[in-house]
Amino acid sequence: MTISAKVSGKAVSIPVSTNAVFRDHWLPGAKALDLAYVPRFYYWDIIVTADVLPDLMQELSRLKEWMRNQEPAADYALVIERVERLERELPQMVAEHGRVVIG
């Protein structure tokens, strides 16, 4: 699962998660929190624009907090780092490219 954008006609990708890690760590939190956007990463590509970015960023923040309360904490440490990377890089990519694809 990656974030992708076109830069000068070339695709730029940032890894987010493997399918297995997403299924085992991201989806349970998304379900527990009744998130709307995050589960879509798993089932199909989602196009992120400036219009949906604030809601998606809020979901990522909530998901990260949920993950911090899960046991064993070591299982979630790397996943939390990926969420934080997404929180840092997604707004920049949307600002630079107008839209990005996650999936």
Average pLDDT over residues 64-73: 92
Instruction: Indicate the pTM of the whole model.
Output: 0.88
Query: Counting beta carbons within 10 angstroms of the beta carbon of residue 19, is it exposed (0 to 12), middle (13 to 18) or buried (19 or more)?
Result: exposed
29 or 93, greater pLDDT: 29
18 or 54, greater pLDDT: 54
**83 is written with which tokens?**
């969420």
Question: Given a cut of 80, is residue 50 above it in pLDDT?
Answer: yes
Question: Given a cut of 70, is residue 60 above it in pLDDT?
Answer: yes
